[in-house]
Every structure is written in C-alpha cells, then in structure tokens.
C-alpha cells in the first residue's frame, strides 16, 4: 500500500506501508525541499524499518515522451537531494524500478529503443517491456559514494550486512 506523505504520517504507519513522496513542479522550480526534509526526518526515525519503503514521483509535468531523468530541472533537484541525503537510495524502493529511475537522474543515461520511441509508462501490458531499454552509466566515484553512503547508514541504523547487500543488489544488479 502506498501512502502519500502528509504531516499526519507517523513512524508506526511507515512500518507497514510504503510512502509515496509526490514532488510538485513548483517544488522543483523553487528548489523547495521542505516536504522532502520532513519525510527524511521520519524515515530516519524509523531506522532500518524504512529500508526500501520510499517511492518518489514528480507531478505537474506533462510528458508525452520525456521521462523524469530527461527533464533537466528534475535532474538538478534530485542531484541536490542526493547532496543533502547521500544515503537516500537506502530508502528508495526497487518496486516499479523507482530506484533505477531516480538513479538515472544523477547518472549518465542512454536510452535504447526498439521500434517507435515510447515512454515506459505508455507501454501496454501486452507489450514487451524490453522494447525500451535504459543504460545507466555511473562513474566509479558516484557508484562508490552511493554504496559507501548506504553501507554506513545501514550500519548506523542497525541494519544487518545481509539486508544491506540484498538492497544493494536491487540497486546494482549483477549483469
């Protein structure tokens, strides 16, 4: 179950639910991190129970073909968020490839198309999801920063090395 963040969201609710953090176009344009900061504060209080529970979405953008990682102002916003919270991928879920989509906002991305260019969200259930590919290129330094930040944070909040490794494998699957 996804629950959009609002001030009434409590630690107890996070233990059982996923959190959908909806970031508006206005928040992106104004570089407003007020809501993000509140969500991260609650996630921090939940410690390891919040691992992989956050879905981040961006609202107010009319996209026919563009994905969030193709919109420069969103890429800048996510880069700033990553600077503030280098361990943010500890929280972000792998469901619906949200971790890969957000990672694509701070990495170099090459889109691979077979046939007509379509947004991933435009694919019909009967279409092969491999008809659109995403090649995420991370610098060695960026990948190392993400891994070290997640590992240090996981240790700080009392998560097990096994859970941390499993979470990292969802972010960086072996090829």
For the chain, the domains span: 2-109+139-165
The kind and range of the H/E element at 22 are: strand 18-24
The reported pLDDT for the residue numbered 118 is 59
The reported pLDDT for the residue numbered 61 is 86
Rg (CA), the chain: 16
> Would you say residue 128 has pLDDT above 60?
no
For residue 2, give both structure tokens: 């996804």
pLDDT band at residue 7 using 50, 70 and 90 as cut-offs: very low
Separation between Cα atoms, residue 24 and residue 18, nearest integer Å: 19
The kind and range of the H/E element at 55 are: strand 54-59
Sign of CA dihedral 75, 96, 148, 136: negative
> Would you say residue 33 has pLDDT above 70?
yes
The reported pLDDT for the residue numbered 67 is 83
pLDDT band at residue 127 using 50, 70 and 90 as cut-offs: low
Which pTM was predicted? Answer: 0.80
What is the overall mean pLDDT for the chain?
84
């Amino acid at each position: 179950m996804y629950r959009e963040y609002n001030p009434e969201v409590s630690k107890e609710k996070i233990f059982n639910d996923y959190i959908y953090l909806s970031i508006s176009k206005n928040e992106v344009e104004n570089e407003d991190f007020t809501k993000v900061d509140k969500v991260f504060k609650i996630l921090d209080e939940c410690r390891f129970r919040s691992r992989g529970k956050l879905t981040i979405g961006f609202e107010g953008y009319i996209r026919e073909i563009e994905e969030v990682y193709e919109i420069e102002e969103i890429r800048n916003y996510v880069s700033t968020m990553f600077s503030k919270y280098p361990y943010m991928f500890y929280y972000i879920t792998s469901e619906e490839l949200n971790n890969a989509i957000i990672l694509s906002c701070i990495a170099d991305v090459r889109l691979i198309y077979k046939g007509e260019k379509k947004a991933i969200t435009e694919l019909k259930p009967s279409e092969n999801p491999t008809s659109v590919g995403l090649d995420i290129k991370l610098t060695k330094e960026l990948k190392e920063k993400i891994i070290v930040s997640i590992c240090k944070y996981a240790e700080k909040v009392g998560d097990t090395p096994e859970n941390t490794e499993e979470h990292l494998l969802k972010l960086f699957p072996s090829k």
